[in-house]
Amino acid sequence: PWPLTVRCFGGFELLVDGRPLPSRGKSKHRQLELVKLLAAHAPAPLSPARITEILWPDSDGDAARHALETTLSRLRSTLGCDVFRSEHGTLALDRSICWIDATALDECIGRIESGTGELEPAAAGDAVRDLLRGELLAGESSSWLLPRREYWRSRIARVLGTAAAQLADGGGFVEAVRLLEYALAADPYSEPLTARLMSLCLAAGRHAEGLAAYRRYCRIALSVLGTPVAAEIESLARQLQERSA
């Protein structure tokens, strides 16, 4: 196992040498908040000023810097090793000894974006699905999380949506449908992705799946977005219903 494993998607999980951290007492709260912050932004580093702004917003410059240095020192003791990397005035978790799901997801999506790597788009999409266990730091409500969640939601939806279109153009309807399902799991509010999935299901004769996507979107449009369902989606639903009859 890696010396440190950090999972952020689907809830926070921290493993030291493959085992959960023994105790999470009140004294470790700020230490864990720092790990969450760095892991959720991985692989990008953060400046000390940004870290202290988020974690110690009511402290002045010197006090905030001292609090950060103290927390880093305590974390090294808690984890039993130095897992931090400092470069050009920024701080990050050291990728050579830390496995972070956000970093693994970034690399996987990057390979799809660039068209490089050993995995075909459909297999790479499966790898994204396996890493994306749920919302970033699910159950957490810190305000700094909102832009990070939106970043991942839009990036995953965009990349998988584009890969699905390429697969569909090549006749890979089944694989394209699967990727769009993954994309919508990341961004269930997307009207274009829903329409694209329904259109592919119509073309592939997968009427039940297309209608299921329609019903999911209807629930979201009415209860969450508070908007009427788009005419294009209603039209696709009618065609799916007629074909399935």
Classify 14 in phi/psi space as left (phi over 0), alpha (psi -120 to 50) or beta.
beta
Say what the pLDDT of residue 209 is: 93
Cα–Cα distance for residue pair 129/174, rounded to 1 Å: 16
Across residues 171-200, what is the average pLDDT? 91
Across residues 116-126, what is the average pLDDT? 76
pLDDT, tens only, 186-219: 888 889 999 999 999 999 899 999 999 999 999 8
Tell me which DSSP letter residue 225 carries: I
Which residues share a beta bridge with 145?
none
Say what the pLDDT of residue 76 is: 92
pTM over 0.85, yes/no: yes
pLDDT, tens only, 139-160: 999 999 999 999 999 999 999 9
Cα–Cα distance for residue pair 239/243, rounded to 1 Å: 6
Say what the pLDDT of residue 212 is: 95
Say what the pLDDT of residue 25 is: 63
Distances (CA, A) of 51 to 46, 48, 144, 183: 7, 5, 11, 31
CB atoms inside a 10 Å sphere around CB 245: 6
Pairing of strands 19-20, 13-16: antiparallel
Among the listed ranges 25-34, 171-180, 227-236, which one has the minimum average pLDDT value? 25-34
Between residues 28 and 8, which one has the greater pLDDT? 8
Helices (H), the chain: 29-41, 48-55, 61-79, 101-114, 121-131, 145-169, 173-186, 191-204, 207-220, 231-244
Between residues 171 and 26, which one has the greater pLDDT? 171
Say what the pLDDT of residue 23 is: 65
Across residues 4-21, what is the average pLDDT? 94
pLDDT, tens only, 24-83: 666 688 999 999 999 999 999 999 999 999 999 999 889 999 999 999 999 999 998 899
Please confirm whether the linkage preceding 43 is cis (ω < 30° from 0).
yes
Q: What's the pLDDT band for 123 if we cut at 50, 70, 90?
A: confident
